[in-house]
Amino acid sequence: MSPVDWQEAWKAGVTPWDAGASPPALRSLLDRGVVPAGRILVPGCGTGYDLATLARADREVVGIDLSEDARTAFLEAHPNLPGSVDYEVTDFFAYVPAQGFDFVWDYTFFCALDPDQRNSWSQTMERLVEPGGVLATLLFPFEDPISGREGPPWPINTDLVRGYVEDAFEALETAAVKHTHPGREGKERLALWRRREP
């Protein structure tokens, strides 16, 4: 399968993954107090709904994506947000921030990557998440067992992701998701991982 040109997809307005709002699972994490103050990263943030949802006076929220068009849409929709919110158009794998992050939110990012990029994803997450910080993965589309269906989105499950993070992260929580966007019912699982201390 040929790689997806994400910039061209945004430019053409062909974005079926864009659900128009943050997933209920993220709002649930916020309600439960799981998302800390400090530095928050959202890779593959698209139109930036999650950046707006996470924005708070005591947080520095950073979103990264490959599309300048998605960034423009975000800035037009959210001109005034609390705290510090920064949207960078850059490659996740080459991203080198001034300091690491206390919390990373990965939703429809891991599943969009070519499977050949998964080792690089885990190495980059290990580099970006501060020791003691949390990587939150909302796994979609969840399949157990995983089918041979090609992506993106590529079918994933908790065991698959665990295999990529377990050297640097410990599992905190895995749970089925009760409330989600229409059409994604039963296709999401939440898994939280804490970055091990060196």
Question: N- to C-terminal Cα distance for the chain?
Answer: 39
79-85 contact pairs (CB < 8 A, 24+):
81/51, 81/52, 81/55, 82/55, 82/56, 82/57, 83/55, 83/56, 83/57, 83/58, 83/59, 84/59, 84/60, 85/51, 85/52, 85/55, 85/61
Phi, psi of 136 (to 5 degrees): -105, 120
Specify the DSSP class assigned to residue 20.
Answer: S
Both tokens assigned to 88: 């960078």
Domain boundaries, the chain: 21-195
In CATH, what number does 21-195 get?
Answer: 3.40.50.150
Closest CA to 162 of 173, 153, 151, 154: 173
* Strand partners for 174: 191
Each residue of 158-183: pLDDT tens digit? 999 999 999 999 999 999 898 887 87
Contact predicate 156/110, CB 8 Å: yes
Which is it for strands 84-89 and 59-65: parallel, antiparallel or unpaired? parallel
Each residue of 12-63: pLDDT tens digit? 555 555 667 799 999 999 999 999 999 999 999 999 999 999 999 999 999 9
State the Cα angle at 152 between 120 and 61, rounded to 5°: 60
Each residue of 86-101: pLDDT tens digit? 999 999 999 999 999 9
Please state the pTM of the whole predicted model. Answer: 0.90
Model confidence at 144, in pLDDT bands (50, 70, 90)?
A: very high
